Amino acid sequence: MRYGYFDDTAREYVITRPDTPLPWINYLGNDGFFSLISNTCGGYSFYKDAKLRRITRFRYNNVPADDGGRCFYVCDGDTVWSPAFLPAGTPLDSYRCRHGMGYSVFEGRKNGVSASLTVMVPMGVNLEVQKLELTNDTDQAKTLTVYGAVEWCLWNAVDDATNFQRNWNIGEVEIEGGTIYHKTEYRERRDHYAFYSVNAPVAGFDTDRDAFLGQFRSWRNPKAVEERTSCGSIAAGWAPIAALRLNVDLAPGQTKTLLFRLGYVENPADRKFDALNVINKDLAHRMMQDFSSEAQFDTAFDALRAYWAGLLSRFTVHSGEEKLDRMVNIWNQYQCMVTFNMSRSASYYESGTGRGMGFRDSCQDLLGFVHLIPQRARERIIDIASIQFADGSTYHQYQPLTRRGNADIGSGFNDDPLWLIACTCAYIRETGDFSILDEPTPFNNEPSTEVPLLEHLRRSLNYTVTHRGPHGLPLIGRADWNDCLNLNCFSLTPGESFQTCSNFESGKAESVFIAGMFVKYGAEYAALCDRIGLADEAADVRRSVQEIENAVLSHGWDGEWFRRAYDAFERPIGSQLNDEGRIYIEPQGFCVMAGIGGADYGRRALRSAVSLLGNEFGLEVLHPCYSEYHDYLGEISSYPPGYKENGSVFCHNNPWVILAFCAVGDGNGAFDLYTRQAPAYIEDKSEIHRTEPYCYSQTIAGRAARTYGEAKNSWLTGTAAWSFVAVSQGILGIRPDYDGLVVDPCLPDHMDGFRVSRVFRGTRYDIIVRRGAQKGLVVDGRPVTGNTVPLTDAPSCSVTLTI
Ligand code: BGC
Ligand code: NOJ
Q: Evaluate the omega torsion of the peptide bond into residue 64 and state whether it is cis, within 30 degrees of 0.
A: yes
CA distances from 710 to 540, 584, 601, 686 (A): 47, 21, 33, 9
Distance 637 CA to ligand 1 centre (A): 13
pLDDT value of residue 380: 97
598-613 helix and 586-593 helix, angle to the nearest 10 degrees: 160
Spell out a b/e string for 262-281, using b for 16 or more CB atoms within 10 Å of the CB, else e. bbbbebeeeebeeeeeebbb
d(CA 209, CA 215): 10
Query: Which one of 481, 489, 646 would you pick to mutate in the ligand 2 pocket, going by the greatest count of ligand atoms within 8 A of its CB?
Result: 481
pLDDT value of residue 403: 84
Q: Atom 10, ligand 1: which residue's CA is nearest?
A: 483
> Which residues are the active-site residues?
483
453-466 helix and 512-531 helix, angle to the nearest 10 degrees: 140
User: Which residue, among 91, 115, 92, has the nearest Cα to 105 in the 3D structure?
Assistant: 115
Distance 499 CA to ligand 1 centre (A): 9
Which residues in the chain land under pLDDT 50?
none
pLDDT value of residue 716: 98
Q: Give the strand pairing for 103-110 and 33-38.
A: unpaired
Q: Give the strand pairing for 103-110 and 179-182.
A: unpaired
pLDDT value of residue 234: 98
Ligand 2: does its nearest atom lie under 6 Å from the Cβ of 361?
Answer: yes
Ligand 1 atom index nearest CA of 355:
12
Ligand 2 atom index nearest CA of 344:
3
Q: Transcribe 686-722 into DSSP letters.
A: HHHH-S-TTS-EEEE--TTSTTTT-EEEESSSTHHHH
pLDDT value of residue 67: 87
Residue 295 neighbours by CB distance under 10 Å: 8
pLDDT value of residue 563: 99
Q: Residue 396: nearest ligand to its CA?
A: 2
d(CA 692, CA 678): 11
d(CA 507, CA 210): 58
pLDDT value of residue 144: 98
pLDDT value of residue 88: 98
Ligand 1: does its nearest atom lie under 6 Å from the Cβ of 645?
Answer: yes
Distance 446 CA to ligand 2 centre (A): 28
Largest alpha-carbon pair distance within the chain? 85
Query: Which one of 652, 698, 699, 715 would you pick to mutate in the ligand 2 pocket, going by the greatest count of ligand atoms within 8 A of its CB?
Result: 652
Query: Which one of 344, 355, 361, 483 would you pick to mutate in the ligand 1 pocket, going by the greatest count of ligand atoms within 8 A of its CB?
Result: 483
Handedness of CA 336, 100, 658, 358 (dihedral sign): positive
User: Which residue, among 668, 670, 671, has the nearest Cα to 749 in the 3D structure?
Assistant: 668
Beta-bridge partners for 475: 510
Strands (E), 334-466: 357-358, 397-398, 440-441, 451-452
Ligand 2 atom index nearest CA of 479:
11
Ligand 1: does its nearest atom lie under 6 Å from the Cβ of 479?
Answer: no
Q: Atom 3, ligand 1: which residue's CA is nearest?
A: 483
Q: Is the separation of the CB atoms in 432 and 761 below 8 Å? A: yes
Q: Is the separation of the CB atoms in 92 and 276 below 8 Å? A: no
Distance 697 CA to ligand 2 centre (A): 12
Ligand 2 atom index nearest CA of 483:
11
pLDDT value of residue 501: 87
Give the predicted TM-score (pTM) of the model: 0.98
Q: Atom 5, ligand 1: which residue's CA is nearest?
A: 483
